[in-house]
Structure 1
Amino acid sequence: MFQSSSTYESALVLLACFLLYRFLQRKSLPPLPPGPKGWPIFGNAFDMPKSRIWRKFAEWGDEWGSIMSVNVLGTPFIILSDPLIAEELLGKTGSLYADRPTLEMANLTGWDRALSGARYNERFREYRKLIGRVVGTRGNMVKFYPVEDYQANMFLKRVFNNPEDPAAATRKTAGAMVLHLTYGYKIKEEGTDPFVQLADEAMEQFSDITRPGVYMVDMFPFLKHVPAWFPLAYFKRRAAECIKTCNDVADIPFEYVKNQLDRGEENNSYAADLLKDKSLGEAKLEDLKWSAASFYAAGSDTTVSVVYAYIMAVCIYPEIQTKAQAELDKVVGNDRLPSFQDRNSLPYIEALVKELYRWQPIVPLAVPHRAMKDSMFRGYYIPKDSLIFANVWKFLHDPKEYKDPWIFNPERFLGPNPEPEPTVRGLFGYGRRVCPGLHLADVSVWINIAKAVAGLNISRALDENGKPIIPTPETTDGIVVRPIPFKCVVEPRSERVVELLDEALREGEHVN
C-alpha cells in the first residue's frame, strides 16, 4: 500500500513538473496568431461547430484577422482567411507544411492509404509520380478526350432516360467517366452498376469519416485502444462498417484491369498503362493500386459537384442558360454537339465553369496541412503538429475580390479586368499538396457542362399551387460538398439534339 501511494505521488510530482516546464517554455516563446480565448485543457473545443465549419472560421477571420489560431485539446489550429497568406505559407515553403494530420478514423478505416490523406513521405511522392506520368499535364489528357467525349454524351442520354432525377445521371456519369479512364471499365447502363454503387458508397464514407472534429478518436487518439462495445466507441463500430468498402474500392476494379491484361484484351486506362510496365515490384503494385483509387475519388467528386451545381445555377438564374446556349449556337451551330476543339471559341462557357467553381467550391475548407516542425511566420509562432486550414470558401466569397460574391455571375471573369480565377485561390490545393489530377477534373467538368448547355433545357419545377420553386443555393456538409437536392424540370433541348446524340453515341461506342 505504501509503495503504491508513493508511486502515485511521484507520478503527480512528475506531471506537475512537466506542466510547469511547458508553461514556462510557452511563456518564453513568441506569440501564436491571435484568436478567441479557450478553456483550460479543452481550449476552443466547445466552440467548434458541428457542420459547415468554414462559415465559423470565416466569422473568426473577420474578428481576429487573416491569420488566427484556436486551440483544440492542445492542438493549434492555424486558420488562414487571406489567399495571399495561404499561398505564401502553404505554397512557397516546400515541405515544411506539406504533411497531413493523422486522422485516426482514416487509419481505422484504411483511408490513410489514399493520396488526399497520405502523410508527406515516400509513398506520397510515389503516388504523385505515378499519377503525373499519365495525367500530369494538359497534353497528357489529350489521349483521353475520346473517352471524356463519349461519357459526356452518355450523360445526356442518362438524363433523357430519367429526366426526373438529373442528380442520379450526374452521379452515374461521374462514376462512369472516371472508372472508364482509370480502369478501362464501361458501366452497365441498365439497373445499378456494382462498381458505381461501390464507389458511391466509398466516397460517402470517406467524406463522413474525414470531417474535422466529428469522431472522438480524432480528438482523443488513445480511444482507438478501447473495445468496440465500450459506450464511447461508436467510432469503432463505424470503422468496422467502412473498412471493407475501403478495401473493395481499391481491390475490385484493380483486379478487373489485371484480368483483362492477362487475357490479352485491349485496355488503355490509367491503371493499364502503368501495369504494362513489367518492372513494377509488389510494393509498386500496391502504390499503383492506391494511386488509382485516389485518382477515382478526386475525379468523380469534382465532376458530380460542379455539374449538379450548374443545374442548380440555371434554375436560380435562367438567363445564364440563355446566354450560354446563344454562344454555343453561334460557334458550334445546330448540326453537331460541342467537342474539345471548340473550347477556345467559347469564352462565356469557360467563364461559366469558373463561376461554378467559385460559387460552390468543392472542398470549401481545403484539406488541412500539418506543420512538420516549429517555425515562425510574420512574427507568429507556429508549433510543430499545428493544423493549417486555408478557408477557400471565404477566399472565393470575399467582397473585396468578387463583386456581389453571393450572386452567380460568369461575366465577372470576362472583359479587360476579370476577377481572380478560383484555381489561383486554392481550389485544387497548395504547394506540394496540389491535386495531381486537376487536369483530369478540368477537362471532365468542361466537356460535361458544354454538353449540358447544348443538350438540355433546365427550368424551375412548380409547387402544388403552380408557383415556381427556386432552389436554395446550399451544399451538403463534409470535406467534399455538393449542392443539396432540389426539384427542377429537365428536357431535351430539341428533337435535333436527340438525333445528334444518337449519331454521336453510335460513332463512339467502340471507344476504350
Structure 2
Amino acid sequence: MSSGWRDIYIGALICTILVGAVCYGLEKRKVLPLPPGPRPVPIIGNIQGIDLKAPWLTYTEWGKQYGDIVYSHLFGQHIIVINSEKVAIELLEKRSYNYSDRPELPTNDLLGFGFNTILMRYGARWRRQRRIFHQAFRAEAALSYRSMQQQKAQQLIHNMLDTPEEFVNHLRVFSSSMIMSASYDYDTKHDDPLVALIGMTLELAVQELRPEVAAVFIAFPSLLRLPAWFPGMSIKKKAIQSREWVREWMNDPFQRVLKRMAEGTAQSCMVSDALRRIDGKDTSGEISMIKECAATAFGAASETTDSVLQVFILAMVLFPEVQVKAQTLIDAVVGASRLPTFEDRSSLQYIDAILRETLRWHPILPLSVTHASVDSDVYEGYYIPKGAVIMPNVWAMSQNEQKYPNPSKFSPERFLNADDNLNDDTVDMAFGFGRRICVGRHFADASVWIAMSGLLAMFTFSKRIGTDGEAIDFEPQWFSGIATHPLPFPCSITPRLRKVDI
C-alpha cells in the first residue's frame, strides 16, 4: 500500500472512530432521560402555570409531584430546579467545578449590572474580584468591623426611639450605613440621596433581572434592537435610567475615597485598603476591579440586611412568645443598664437561633442566585445539559417538613439542642452554594445579630391596636422579585423600661 493510500486509510479510520464516538455519545444521551417535569407548551415551554410573582411556590409544588430535581424549559432555555439541600450540595458544592458559572443574561448589561460580581460569569475576572472581597470580608477580617457595627446599631435604636413609625426607613439607613462604612468609610445620613439612589436602582433591578424576563431576550435577541417606544419594550426605558443611576452609584462614593486618600484623611475601609495594596499601580484595570467590588458590596448588603431585619420584626409581631423568651434571656444576661455586645453572644444563643429561624422562615432570596452548568452532566441517571440554568429553590429547602416540622411556624427552638446550645444547622443555604457562596456572610451575620439583640433589648413589637381596642389582625404580603421583603404591615413599637444611655 502506497504512503498516500495509507494516509487516506488512516484518516478514514480516525474519522470512523470519531464519528462512532460522537454517535455513541448521542446514543448515550438518548438513553439518559432529562429530569422529570411538567409537560411543556410548544415553543414557549413551561411558562404556563408558573406564578411569575413568586415562581418558587410553583417550583415547590412541582417538587412535590416530580421530585428533588425538576426539568423545565422556557423559550428553549433548559432549566433545572433543585428542591432539596441534598441535591444542591451534591451538584453545586461537590461538583462546583461544573456549576459555578452564571447564566448569560442580556438584561444584566442592559440595566448596567455587567460589573456585578454576584451576577458575573465564572472566570478570571470573577476570581480577581472575589479575591478583593475575600481580603475585606473573610471571617478574620470581619472582626475588625465590630466596633463600627455596635455604633451603627446604637444609632438605629436612637432613631427608632425618636420616630418608631418610620422603622422601615431606619432599617434601610442602618443596613446602608453598615456596608457604606465598611466599603467607603462613608457615614450615611438620614434621607441620604446616595442611599435613595441605590434603593431605586435595586428596586428596579430585582423586578427586571429575573430569569423569566431574561429568557425572552435570550430566545429572541432581536427584541433588544427594538426602540424603547415599541409596545412591550418598557424595559429599555427603564434601562436608560438604570445605567445612569449605576454610574453615579459606582463613581460618587469611590471618588470621595480617592479624594480623602489624596488629602491623607482616609480611614481603613474596603476601597482604601485595596488601593493601598496595589500602591497606585493600576495593573490590568485593578482600580476598576476595586470600584466594581465596592459597588457590588453596597448593593448586595444593603438590600439583604434590610430585608432580613424587616422579616425579623414581622416575626416578632406574629409570634410574641418568641420575643418574650428572648427578652427574658437578655435581661438575665445583660441587665437593664446596657445593650448587648458581641462579648455577650455566647451567652445569648437563643438570639442566634432567632437569626437562623428568620433566614429559614421566609428566605429573602427564595431562588438564591441562579447557577449554570459549564458542561453536560449526569446525576442519579438524569441528563443535565451544558449551559442549563440551575435554580436552587431555597424556599422549598427551608419549608422541608421532614427537616423543619410545621415550617410556617416561627420556632427558633429548631436550632437548639436539648441543653439550649446551638445545633449544627447554620442555614447556609440562605447564603448560596459552593464557590458562589456569599463572601460577606460573616459581616452580614454580625450586622444582623447586633441589630436584633439591641432591638429586642429596647423594644416590644406587637400588633397595632384598632379603634375598637382590639389588635389588628393581618395576613403578611410580600414584595417579590429576585429578593423579597414584607410589604408595609401594621406594627406597634413600644420602648421597654431600661436605663440605657443611647
TM over 0.5: yes
2:435 aligned residue (432, 435, 439): 432
Q: What's the counterpart of residue 459 of structure 2?
A: 456
SS at match of 1:381: strand
Computed over aligned residues only, the root mean square deviation of the Cα atoms, in angstroms, reads: 1.9
Which of 280, 301, 304 is equivalent to 2:303? 301
**Bigger mean CA offset, 201-210 vs 463-472:** 463-472
- Identify the residue that residue 32 of structure 2 maps to in structure 1: 30
User: 1:216-244 CA deviation, whole Å, 9 max, x = no partner?
Assistant: 43553331122223223222112112111
Which residue of structure 1 lines up, in the alignment, with residue 249 of structure 2? 249
User: How many angstroms apart in 2 are the aligned matches of 1:130 and 1:275?
Assistant: 10
Query: C-alpha offsets along residues 243-273 of structure 1, whole Å, 9 cap, x if unaligned?
Result: 1112211111111111111111131111111
Are 1:147 and 2:151 matched, yes or no? no
Secondary structure of 2:483's match? coil
Aligned ranges 1:318-329 → 2 under 5 Å: 318-329=320-331
Decide which moves more: 480-489 or 209-218.
209-218
Any conservation in 2 of the 1:401–1:420 contact (CA below 8 Å)? no
Alignment map for 1:20-419 (pairs within 5 Å) = 28=30, 30-137=32-139, 139-189=140-190, 192-214=191-213, 216-277=216-277, 278=279, 279-281=281-283, 283-416=285-418
- Say whether the 8 Å CA contact 2:461–2:493 is kept in structure 1: yes
Q: Are the aligned partners of 2:29 and 2:383 in contact in 1 as well (CA < 8 Å)?
A: no
Contact 1:397–1:405 (8 Å) recurs in 2: yes
Change (3 A) 1:36 1:26: farther
In the alignment, residue 382 of structure 1 is paired with which amino acid? I
Mapped contact 1:213–1:219 kept (Cα < 8 A):
no
The worse-fitting range, judged by mean Cα deviation, of 460-469 and 311-320 is: 460-469
- Deviation digits for residues 166-222 of structure 1, max 9, x if unmatched? 111111111111111111011224xx2112112212221221221231364355333
Matched, 1:421 2:421: no
Aligned CA distance change for structure 1 residues 468 and 26 (closer, same or farther; 3 Å): farther
SS at match of 2:78: strand
TM-score normalised by the chain length of structure 2: 0.90
> 3-state DSSP class of the match of 2:99?
coil
Distance, in Å, in 2 between the alignment partners of 1:57 and 1:420 is: 27
1:336 Cα deviation from its structure 2 partner: 1.5
- How far apart, CA to CA, are the structure 2 residues paired with 1:112 and 1:124? 11
Partner Cα distance (1:473, 1:483) in 2: 7
- Give, in angstroms, the shift of residue 395 of structure 1: 0.6
Q: Say which SS state the counterpart of residue 114 (structure 2) adopts.
A: helix
Partner of 1:8: none
TM-score, normalised to structure 1's length? Answer: 0.88
Alignment correspondent of 1:478: 481
**Counterpart of 1:481 in structure 2: which amino acid?**
T
Paired with 1:259 and 1:136, the residues of 2 have a C-alpha distance of: 27
| Aligned mates of 2:226, 2:283 — CA distance in 1 | 37
Work out the number of aligned pairs and report it: 473
Structure 1 gaps of 5+ residues are 1-20, 502-512
Determine the C-alpha separation between the residues in 2 that align with 1:74 and 1:31. Answer: 17
Give the match for residue 493 of structure 1: 496
SS of structure 2 residue aligned to 1:494: coil
1:468 counterpart letter in structure 2: A
* Whole-angstrom distance in 2 between the partners of 1:222 and 1:98: 28
SS in 1 for 2:70: strand
Distance of 2:235 and 2:122 partners within structure 1: 26
Contact 1:401 1:419 in 2 (8 A): no
Quote the offset at 1:388 in angstroms.
0.7
Stretch moving more, 163-172 or 272-281: 272-281
SS of 1:238 mapped into structure 2: helix
Flag the 1:294–1:365 CA change in 2: closer, same or farther, 3 A: same
Change (3 A) 1:27 1:260: closer
- Write the letter of the residue equivalent to 1:460: K
Q: Bigger CA drift: 441-450 or 232-241?
A: 232-241
* Contact 1:316 1:471 (C-alpha < 8 Å) held by counterparts: no
8 Å CA contact 1:315, 1:471 repeated in 2:
no
Answer whether contact 1:357 1:422 (CA < 8 A) is retained.
Answer: no
Residue identity in the other structure for 1:372: V
Corresponding letter in the other structure for 2:261 = L
TM superposition shift of 1:352: 0.8
The percent identity for this pair of structures is: 33
Contact kept, 8 Å, 1:363 with 1:479, in 2: the verdict is yes
Aligned residue identity for 1:186: D
